[in-house]
Amino acid sequence: MNSRLETAVGFSKDNRQYREDLTFLLLRDSDLINKRILDIGSSCGGLGSYIRSLGLGCEVIDIDARSWQLPEDSTAIRGYAYHLSFGDSVFDIVISKGCIPILCAGDKLTSEIRARERTKQALEEAFRVTKPSGRIHMHWVPTIDTIRPVGLYDWEYNGQKAVAETVVNYVDSLNSKGHKAKVIKNTLVIRKS
C-alpha cells in the first residue's frame, strides 16, 4: 500500500530501519493490527508510513510536519509532544522513537526545571490520549544507568539526567495507581488500566 504520503517521504516497503524501530519499541507488526496508532515526534514520518504500508492506520505528529510538504491526504500534523491536539482516550497505541530526550532535555539555555516540566507534560499527554487498556511505547528514553557525561556538555548531561529522573518518578506514580509501567533497555512501556 503506497499512499501519496509514503511516496512523498521516499518510503520503501522493504525499509529495514522501520522494522528495527518497531523492535526497539518492543512491538511487532501483529501488535498493531486493528489499533489506532499515534507516532509522536515522527521526524519525516517514516515509521508512520511503514505502519501504513501494513494496511494499518497511523497518525503522526511532529513540530516540523508542515515542512515535509506532504500531500493533503496525509495524517501528519504539526504539534508538540507536550501539548497534543487530540481528545482524551483516542489511541490504542502511542509510540515515539527518540522524541523525549531531544524535545525535553533542551539546550544550554533551557533549565533542568524546564526539562523536567516538558518531560512530565509529554508523558502526561501521551497517557491522556491513550485509551484505557491502551499502550505507550517510547524508545530512547534516557535512564540514569545509560547517561554518560563523557562527550556531553554539562547542560546536555544535566538535561538528560533531569529527563531520566522525571521518567522514573512518572513510572513510579503510574504503578502506584494500578497501571503497568517500566523501562526496558531504554524503552518506556506503559499499559494503561
Condensed to tens digits (0 to 9), the pLDDT of residues 5-38 reads 444 444 444 568 888 899 999 999 889 999 999 9
Q: Which structural domains are found in the chain, ordered by start?
A: 4-191 (3.40.50.150)
The pLDDT, as a whole number, for residue 71 is 45
Burial 127-146 (b: 16+ CB within 10 A, else e): bebbbeebbbbbbbbbbeee
- CA 174 from chain centre, in angstroms, equals 18
Q: Are 52 and 58 contacting, i.e. CB atoms less than 8 angstroms apart?
A: yes
Return the residue matching grid coordinates 509529554: 122
Q: Are 26 and 43 contacting, i.e. CB atoms less than 8 angstroms apart?
A: no
Q: Is the pLDDT of residue 88 over 70?
A: yes
Rounded to 5 degrees, what angle do the CA atoms 34, 170, 17 make? Answer: 45
Q: How confident is the model at residue 94 (pLDDT cuts 50, 70, 90)?
A: very high
Model confidence, pTM: 0.85
Q: Is the pLDDT of residue 191 over 80?
A: yes
Ranked by mean pLDDT, the top range of 6-10, 93-97, 114-118 is 93-97
Collapse the DSSP code of 63 into the 3-class scheme (helix H, G, I; strand E, B; otherwise coil) and give the result.
coil
Q: How confident is the model at residue 157 (pLDDT cuts 50, 70, 90)?
A: confident
Give the cell for residue 185: 533497555
Q: Beta-strand (E) ranges in 45-156?
A: 58-62, 76-78, 91-97, 130-139
Q: How confident is the model at residue 115 (pLDDT cuts 50, 70, 90)?
A: confident
Order of strands, sheet of 91-97, starting from the edge strand that comes earlier in the sequence? 76-78, 58-62, 37-40, 91-97, 130-139, 187-191, 180-184
The pLDDT, as a whole number, for residue 1 is 38
The pLDDT, as a whole number, for residue 6 is 43
Q: How confident is the model at residue 104 (pLDDT cuts 50, 70, 90)?
A: low
The pLDDT, as a whole number, for residue 162 is 86
Give the cell for residue 147: 547517561
| Region of poorest pLDDT, from 14-23, 61-70, 78-87, 98-107 | 61-70
Spatial distance between the Cα atoms of 161 and 139, rounded to a whole number of angstroms: 16
